[in-house]
Amino acid sequence: MFAIVRVGNKQFKVAPKDVITVDSMAGNVGDTVELSDVLLVQGEKSVKVGKPLVKGAKVTAKIVAHTKGEKIEIRRFKSKVRYRRARGFRAQLTNLEIVGITQA
């Protein structure tokens, strides 16, 4: 059994016991989160495709950790003017462990 879920502006293919990394979400480590934007659910024998969402389908996930992403360095440079700027950025991320998938 698996599902395709929309979290933020990204889509993830998830199955029970999978761990996915998404943009930062509110909540503490150990909290349970319901993801209701389910686009597709494949069960034992059937596939349900949403238009755009599958009605009544939910994915339950547990917050495992809050982490930071890889560092991205931004550099600005203008020639002949001695203008140089360096700046860094690390995205705030959340790791989710998929607990269960519920169909309608």
pLDDT digits (tens, 9 = 90+) for 20-79: 999 999 999 999 999 999 999 998 889 999 999 999 999 999 999 999 999 999 999 999
Distance CA(56)–CA(66), nearest Å, equals 29
pTM, to two decimals: 0.84
8 A C-beta contact, residue 1 and residue 85:
no
> What does DSSP assign to residue 51?
S
How confident is the model at residue 43, as a pLDDT? 87
Domain boundaries, the chain: 2-102
